[in-house]
């Protein structure tokens, strides 16, 4: 199961709207084939390892991180449960049941009905952690949101004059690029696009990754220039805006290659919950929110954040006018402050990354 989990993690970000699943076929204590979900339209992990193993799959034992799927209308690949039965696999270890209503226990039942022994729960905790975005998407119809910022020790993201490049070092910035390559979408606000004109691509190790997440920019008033760098960057862009914006601006944004998505207006701009519902309905399971203090504050105030990646540099900026990492309303009492669960700390050169879960949702 450890092998299955490792190969699944390696394809995270590249399989949406399908989950990133890993599988390993074992015979006489030896892994004879392992592999993970292919990009959409490709094989699921089980089909991949069965193809690799060929006739050696007969009588072998399969370890898989998520319940094998069942057929349903519109499904593009054959049912994995049926493939496992046809291949003559003797025993199947499943880490997690699939909450997708099309599967949800049916895959396991199908295997058991065919006389295959099925053992559930081996590696469940690790699989649940790995699949958090998928599990949230399937159980709430909303994407999993990771709030990311880089700040000084005193929580500032820029000096009082607005200088912000760079607070953290190359290792921390590269880590952000690696995480961008593992999500479906990057979210930012008009304030960041106007101030920094970022490309918002995933470039781990300085190299454009094959998978470029969708870029989503909240811009209720139509302030982003159609000549912004992100429109020319590889990958797709959505500008989430309101119907109150100038139609000429909207058509200039469309001409730059981006999609204009009309959202309901909210006091802070666009209705984020509605936007996230639309993104989820399009198969966006995970969002990396790399935004300024205004949008991050709105996300925290609305309880829309599931995980935090806070990169902290060992420097003090100070100054009442310097920008904070998170603005919004905040909380009035410390007891109301959101605390990270299962927080971890990683050292990246001189910087540290504080990571943890937050918000009401738990898998």
Ligand X SMILES: NC(=O)c1ccc[n+]([C@@H]2O[C@H](COP(=O)([O-])OP(=O)(O)OC[C@H]3O[C@@H](n4cnc5c(N)ncnc54)[C@H](OP(=O)(O)O)[C@@H]3O)[C@@H](O)[C@H]2O)c1
Nearest-approach distance from CB 192 to ligand X, in angstroms: 3
If the CB atoms of residues 20 and 249 are measured against ligand X, the closer one turns out to be: 249
If the CB atoms of residues 116 and 220 are measured against ligand X, the closer one turns out to be: 220
In order of 145, 171, 346, the CA distances from 350 in angstroms are 27, 9, 11
Nearest-approach distance from CB 238 to ligand X, in angstroms: 13
* CA-closest candidate to residue 245, choices 261, 227, 228: 261
If the CB atoms of residues 157 and 228 are measured against ligand X, the closer one turns out to be: 157
The structure tokens 């709030």 sit at 147
Residues annotated as part of the active site: 46
If the CB atoms of residues 79 and 294 are measured against ligand X, the closer one turns out to be: 294
In order of 14, 57, 231, 294, the CA distances from 5 in angstroms are 15, 20, 36, 37
Nearest-approach distance from CB 266 to ligand X, in angstroms: 5
Classify residue 344 as exposed, middle or buried by CB count within 10 Å of its CB (0-12, 13-18, 19+).
exposed
- How many CB atoms sit inside 10 A of residue 169's CB? 16
If the CB atoms of residues 155 and 283 are measured against ligand X, the closer one turns out to be: 155
Summarize as ranges the residues that interact with ligand X (CB under 6 A): 149-151, 157-158, 164, 188-192, 195-196, 218-221, 223, 266, 268-270, 272, 290-295, 298
Query: Alpha helix locations (H) across the chain?
Result: 2-10, 45-53, 80-87, 106-113, 124-130, 132-140, 170-180, 190-196, 229-232, 247-255, 272-281, 293-301
Nearest-approach distance from CB 218 to ligand X, in angstroms: 3
Provide CB contacts within 8 A for 358, sequence distance 6+: 147, 305, 306, 307, 308, 338, 339, 340, 341
Nearest-approach distance from CB 175 to ligand X, in angstroms: 13
């Amino acid at each position: 199961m450890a092998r299955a989990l490792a190969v699944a993690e390696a394809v995270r970000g590249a399989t949406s709207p399908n989950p990133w699943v890993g599988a390993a076929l074992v015979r006489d204590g030896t892994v004879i084939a392992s592999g993970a979900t292919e990009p959409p339209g490709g094989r699921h992990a089980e089909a991949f390892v069965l193809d690799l193993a060929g006739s050696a799959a007969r009588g072998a034992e399969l370890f898989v991180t998520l319940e094998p799927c069942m057929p349903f209308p519109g499904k593009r690949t054959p049912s994995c449960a049926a493939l496992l039965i046809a291949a003559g696999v003797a025993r199947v270890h499943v880490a997690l049941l699939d909450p997708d209503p099309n599967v949800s226990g049916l895959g396991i039942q199908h295997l058991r009905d065919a006389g295959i022994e099925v053992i559930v729960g081996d590696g469940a905790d690790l699989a649940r952690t790995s699949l958090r975005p998928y599990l949230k998407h399937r159980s709430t119809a909303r994407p999993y949101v990771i709030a990311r910022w880089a700040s000084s020790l005193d929580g500032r993201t820029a000096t009082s004059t607005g200088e912000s490049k760079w607070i953290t070092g190359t290792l921390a910035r590269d880590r952000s690029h690696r995480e961008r390559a593992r999500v479906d979408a990057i979210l930012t606000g008009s304030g960041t696009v106007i101030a920094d004109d970022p490309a918002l691509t995933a470039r781990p190790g300085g190299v454009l990754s094959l998978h470029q997440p969708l870029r989503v920019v909240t811009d209720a008033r139509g302030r982003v220039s159609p000549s912004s760098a992100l429109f020319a960057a590889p990958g797709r862009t959505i500008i989430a805006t309101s119907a109150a914006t100038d139609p000429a601006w909207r058509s200039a944004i469309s001409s730059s290659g981006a999609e204009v998505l009309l959202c309901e207006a909210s006091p802070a701009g666009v209705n984020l919950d509605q936007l996230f519902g639309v993104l989820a309905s399009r198969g966006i399971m995970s969002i990396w929110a790399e935004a300024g203090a205004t949008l991050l504050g709105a996300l925290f105030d609305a309880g829309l954040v599931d995980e935090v990646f806070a990169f902290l540099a060992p420097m003090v900026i100070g100054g009442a006018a310097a920008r904070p990492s998170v603005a919004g309303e905040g909380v009035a009492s410390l007891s109301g402050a959101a605390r990270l669960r299962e927080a971890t700390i990683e050292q990246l050169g001189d910087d540290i990354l504080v990571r943890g879960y937050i918000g009401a949702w738990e898998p």
